[in-house]
Amino acid sequence: MVKLVYFAWVRERIGKPEEEMELPDDVKTVRDLLVYLKTLGDEYEAALQYPEVIRVAVNQEHVEHHEAIKGAREIGIFPPMTGG
Partner 1 sequence: MNPGPTIRVQAQDFDLQAEIDALAKGRRDIGAVVTFTGLCRDEQGSLTALELEHYPGMAEAEMRRIADLAIERFSLMGLAAIHRFGKIRPGENIVLVIAAAPHRQAAFDGASFMMDYLKTSAPFWKKEHLADGSSGDWVAAKDADDRAREKWRT
Residue numbers of the site for partner 1 (CB under 8 A)?
A: 5, 7-9, 57, 60-62, 76, 78-84
Give DSSP secondary structure letters for the chain.
-EEEEE-HHHHHHHTSSEEEEPPPTT--BHHHHHHHHHTT-HHHHHHTSSGGG-EEEETTEEE-TTSB-TT-SEEEEEPPP---
The Cα 70–Cα 68 span in angstroms is: 6
Q: Judged by CB, which is closer to partner 1: 19, or 24?
A: 19
Smaller CB distance to partner 1: residue 36 or 78? 78
Q: How far apart are CB 26 and partner 1 at their closest, in Å?
A: 27
In angstroms, give the least distance from the CB of 30 to partner 1.
16
Q: In whole angstroms, how close is the CB of 24 to partner 1 at the nearest point?
A: 26
Between 27 and 57, name the residue whose CB sits nearer to partner 1: 57
